[in-house]
Amino acid sequence: MPAAAEGFQVSSITLGDAITSEHKVKKEATIFSPSQKTIYVSVDTTGTTQGATLNAKWTYLDKNQTIVSTSQSIVADSPSTTTFSMKNPDLWPEGKYKVDISVDGKPVASKTFEVKKS
């Protein structure tokens, strides 16, 4: 196991439909079109860690169905941003969704969002 994290924590998570060159969500959104191919979540962290695993689990709440669960290992010595995405070449089913963020298997943040026709 890596050394204990020094004040390492998730400070915020932001959903959106595009990211900047710094891999941060450009503009926060909680409602997406069914035709949106990719939905992103930026995970901002503070503190330092010699190694932590961030995980994003995306769930379609209307059917209680996990869509995708992705992990990224990170080393941080200052505030940083890690971005996750879920992609669908087809139309997203309309309804309510949620993304859960965990650090080393411990839930730390979540955000709900909706897919609906405008």
Q: List the end-to-end C-alpha distance of the chain, in Å, as a whole number.
A: 47
Q: Is the pLDDT of residue 1 over 70?
A: no
Strand partners, 85: 40
- pLDDT tens readout for residues 74-95: 999 999 999 999 999 999 999 9
3-state secondary structure of 63: helix
The span from the CA of 102 to the CA of 110, in Å, is 9
Distance (Å) of CA 42 to CA 13, 48, 55, 111: 5, 18, 12, 11
Q: How many CB atoms lie within 10 A of CB 23?
A: 12
Q: Is the pLDDT of residue 4 over 70?
A: no
Q: Is the pLDDT of residue 3 over 70?
A: no
- pLDDT tens readout for residues 14-63: 999 999 998 899 999 999 999 999 999 999 999 999 999 999 999 999 99
Give the predicted TM-score (pTM) of the model. 0.91
The residue assigned the tokens 């309510």 is: 96
Q: CB of 56 within 8 A of CB of 84?
A: yes
- pLDDT recorded at residue 7: 86
The span from the CA of 99 to the CA of 54, in Å, is 13
Q: How many CB atoms lie within 10 A of CB 117?
A: 8
Task: Show the domains of the chain with their CATH numbers.
Answer: 6-115 (2.60.40.2550)
Average pLDDT of the chain, as a whole number: 93
